[in-house]
Amino acid sequence: MRSCTGCWASDKLHEECGVFGISLSPHDSYSVANETYLALFALQHRGQESSGIATSNDGKIHVIKKSGLVPEVFDERTLQSLQGNMAIGHVRYSSHSESSAINAQPLAVTHINGSMAIACNGTLVNGAKLRHDAELSGAIFQTTNDTEVIAYMLVRERLGTPLMEQAVKNIMSYVAGAYSMVIISGSKLIAARDPFGFKPLCMGMLGSSVVFASESCAFDAIGARFVRDVEPGEIIVAENGSVTSAMRSEWQARSSLCVFEFVYFARPDSVIDGLSVEHVRQEFGKYLAMRDNVKGDIVIGVPDSGLSAALGYSKQAGIPYGVGLVKNRYIGRTFIQNTQSQREKSVSIKLNALSAEVKGKRVIMVDDSIVRGTTCAHIVSILRQAGASEVHMRVSSPPFLHRCYYGTDIPREQDLIAHNHTVEQIAEMINVDTLMYLDERDLRHAMSGLRIGYCDACFTGNYPVRISSESENQKEGRIQV
């Protein structure tokens, strides 16, 4: 057997960010900072590197942001200092730009017509070029993230229009990539989703106040009511808790929500563009079971995102569902892995097998994806040490063959195990008895209830936005952005 080594974190995909915004109605008395804090808690799975909140009090913007989880950055005192009738919040994971406090969001900007704050979830395909062109004309940037490029473009467009929402619409014709953003400008809270709809964004009501969030689970956390998704290319303006206008960017294109929201990123209790994440994950498991004829005694899921697909598999196959792996929920991003030995132990520290459940059994183990293949070999060995007589791995997504240019931290093609190996070779490398991936056709069936189109380029190579050479260079690390 050839073995894979590595750490847990290196073999999982990462989402770039989560955003939230609230425009308070004069009829409500919520603390916008407190509501944002709670909502960011619910969105913490989308980014754990930094957290931030910006509030607007009579047009004066106040921001607190730092590296760290939401409860590490905010306490009662800091939240009390954030007063106002509007707020936006952000949790961040960095994909290609530097992971440092300076890149934390929201970003506050003062310009000739006033001030604004912006929080953005996404990555621009042409971000490096836009930045470079702006720098050639004298622009100075303080961060390395694309949000500052968007902020610069907005301020420049705002010089030619009295309306910030018109400036947003203008930049959407040439800012290419995946983004959902919330902006505080004057008395307005503006929410916008890129014309392809790569990143989710939805609108709700908290009392009479308007709220926006990357995922609907944030609304549940604060007791808000889901109203609808922001449409791809849509710009919604809320003012004093009322929606005052909505417009579409003129550049219409086929919508392309990132399918990985359903495979892995989003929380199962979220509903995105008409589809329940939990339902879709169970469907993935169901379709896996429908094409399978392996004999098993127990179906288990790899926590957390493999659990729902395992349940769907179990229901369809009529094989009992069990808890075979237990996750340590208290291991955070602070887990130090200085040495190779620590890195190799990280999976065992994060996951442990329940011997009483798997001993002597033919285990069907369901996980959401295999990226480099560095983690699954460890999980399989944990199960075998716990006494599993056979381990059959089922993956609730098709093989990863291509990189992502839209904000998901997928490695280079040569580092993707499925890009370089057959299914049989991978099975041997991770030491499973059999290995099966979700068929692309079944992924389509499971996603058929989605109101909009979706992107599956990391499986198919069909990229919805043309990839520029700058993006290629940026992904290769040849351009610092």
Give the C-alpha separation, 378 to 347, whole Å: 7
Q: Which residue number, 108 or 258, has a Cβ lying nearer to ligand SF4?
A: 258
Give least dist CB 100 to ligand SF4, A: 24
Task: Let me know if 4 is a catalytic residue.
Answer: no
Q: Which residue number, 32 or 418, has a Cβ lying nearer to ligand SF4?
A: 418
x/- map, 356-395, ligand SF4, by CB under 6 A: ----------------------------------------
Binds ligand SF4 by CB under 6 A, chosen from 85, 121, 145, 408: 408
Query: Which residue is listed with tokens 């290995």?
Result: 435
Give the C-alpha separation, 378 to 420, whole Å: 20
Give the C-alpha separation, 259 to 404, whole Å: 12
436-455 residues in contact with ligand SF4 (CB under 6 A) are 455
Give least dist CB 192 to ligand SF4, A: 18
Give least dist CB 260 to ligand SF4, A: 4
In 3D space, the residue among 44, 134, 184, 120 whose CA is nearest the CA of residue 407 turns out to be 120
Give least dist CB 179 to ligand SF4, A: 12
Give the C-alpha separation, 414 to 51, whole Å: 33
My answer on whether omega of the bond before 106 falls inside 30° of 0, hence cis, is yes
Q: Which residue number, 103 or 397, has a Cβ lying nearer to ligand SF4?
A: 397
- The reply to whether 74 sits near ligand SF4 by the rule CB under 6 A is no
Q: Which residue number, 55 or 126, has a Cβ lying nearer to ligand SF4?
A: 126
Binds ligand SF4 by CB under 6 A, chosen from 278, 283, 456, 470: 456
Binds ligand SF4 by CB under 6 A, chosen from 183, 190, 457, 465: 457
Give least dist CB 2 to ligand SF4, A: 27
Q: Which residue number, 180 or 408, has a Cβ lying nearer to ligand SF4?
A: 408
Please pick, among 4, 17, 120, 258, the residue that the annotation labels catalytic: 17
Binds ligand SF4 by CB under 6 A, chosen from 124, 176, 404, 446: 404
Helix axis angle for 164-171 and 146-158, nearest 10°, is 120
Binds ligand SF4 by CB under 6 A, chosen from 229, 406, 465, 475: 406
Helix axis angle for 146-158 and 127-136, nearest 10°, is 50
Binds ligand SF4 by CB under 6 A, chosen from 30, 198, 226, 437: 198
Q: Which amino acid is at 332?
A: G
Q: Which residue number, 93 or 260, has a Cβ lying nearer to ligand SF4?
A: 260
Give least dist CB 407 to ligand SF4, A: 7
251-310 residues in contact with ligand SF4 (CB under 6 A) are 258-260
Give least dist CB 454 to ligand SF4, A: 7
129-188 residues in contact with ligand SF4 (CB under 6 A) are none
How many residues interact with ligand SF4 (rule CB under 6 A)? 11
Q: Which residue number, 124 or 364, has a Cβ lying nearer to ligand SF4?
A: 124
Q: Which amino acid is at 340?
A: Q
Q: Which residue number, 47 or 324, has a Cβ lying nearer to ligand SF4?
A: 47
Residue 326: beta bridge partners? 352
Give the C-alpha separation, 160 to 171, whole Å: 12
Give least dist CB 408 to ligand SF4, A: 4
Binds ligand SF4 by CB under 6 A, chosen from 417, 458, 465, 481: 458
Chain positions contacting ligand SF4, by CB under 6 A: 198, 258-260, 404, 406, 408, 455-458
Catalytically active residues, by annotation: 17
